[in-house]
Amino acid sequence: MPMDELISLLAASEGTYIVKEVRGTKGRNMRLLRLGGGSTGGHRDLLEMLKGSGLLEHRLSDVILQKYIERPLLVDKRKFDFRVYMLMVNACRREKSGSRSKAFYVYWHPGFLRLCIMAYQRDSGDLLCHLTNQHIQMNSVLYDRDYVRDVIYPKIGAIIGYLGAAFAESLNDNAIKANTFKLFGVDFMVDSRLSVQLLEVNDLPSWRRQTRILAKLKTDLWREAVALTVETVAKFRQKQTLEPLVSRCNFRLAHSSEDPTLLANAIATLFH
């Protein structure tokens, strides 16, 4: 898309946006921009950001422009989001005929919450009250945990299953080698109407362990992912049923190419 068309499109799309580099880390070069409504300052800032990112050299994948959720659900007057993990397993076996059979499995891990340091103020220009922070103690959640467990997380699982099923159509052994796995970081937010909103999928999520809680969670997550992949692949290669999964731990199955009804039933139940 030509730059003039992009700027014109944004000018007609009034609202607040988060702009960041795809490979950016630690919040570097992240901007909060308010566009439309006759304001041109945000457009100039955006143009400078795009120039620095290389987008003007036609590297369209270098920048993410994300619509900002302006009425989020708050915890203790602060914004929060869910960092959930998606585990994709590419299983393969050799048949007696010499042909190869493949199966694709998608699991999700509940991850943790990221909480803003400052209380949320919609019109504030301070990023600390708009962008969630990694330094979070998971036990600080003050809302009804049963609702999160029984409603929010199942919806997140269904969305992850849908993502995985969509990705599976285009993935091959070059993307995820046969009988191996890949972990993605997937971010969600809940708005004031309690609707679950998908923010983004990170194919290279941060594995830094800034706190004791994150150090334990991420270490355990990797151990569980490896064990679950080994069990999943072994059962597929030996033509055994997948359940029960001894090594499942905190992971839940969201999609299986061997049982498409699993995802269909979850979506039908949660999003009717």
Res 120: pLDDT = 63
Segment 207-217, tens digit of pLDDT: 888 788 889 99
H or E element at residue 196: strand 196-202
Q: What is the mean pLDDT of the chain?
A: 78
The residue with greater pLDDT, 271 or 194, is 194
Cis peptide before 244 (omega within 30 of 0): yes
Segment 235-258, tens digit of pLDDT: 999 999 999 999 999 999 999 999
The pLDDT-based confidence of 140 (bands split at 50, 70, 90) is: very low
Tell me if residue 238 falls in helix, strand or coil. Answer: coil
Res 88: pLDDT = 95
Rank 117-121, 152-156, 216-220 by mean pLDDT and report only the highest. Answer: 216-220
Segment 54-84, tens digit of pLDDT: 545 545 556 677 777 777 777 777 778 899 9
Nearest to 21 by CA among 58, 56, 61: 61
Segment 171-204, tens digit of pLDDT: 666 778 889 999 999 999 888 788 899 988 988 8
Angle at 191 between CA 131 and CA 202, to 5 degrees: 50
Cβ-in-10-Å burial (0-12, 13-18, 19+) of 147 comes to exposed
Say what the pTM is: 0.75
Res 154: pLDDT = 92
DSSP track, 48-67:
HHHHHHTGGGT-GGGEEEEE
DSSP track, 116-179:
-SSPP-TT---GGGTS-BS---GGG--S-HHHIIIIIHHHHHHHHHHHHHHHHTT--TTTS-TT
Give yes or no for residue 169 having a pLDDT over 60.
yes
Give yes or no for residue 145 having a pLDDT over 60.
no
Which residue(s) pair with 188 in the sheet?
82, 198
* Domains contained in the chain, CATH given: 3-67 (no CATH), 74-270 (3.30.470)
Res 59: pLDDT = 52
H or E element at residue 84: strand 78-94
Please check whether residue 262 is in contact with residue 255, taking contact to mean a CB–CB distance below 8 angstroms: yes
The pLDDT-based confidence of 130 (bands split at 50, 70, 90) is: very low
Residue 171 CB coordination number (10 Å): 15
Q: Average pLDDT for residues 93-117, to the nearest whole number?
A: 90
The residue with greater pLDDT, 264 or 73, is 264
Segment 112-121, tens digit of pLDDT: 987 776 666 6
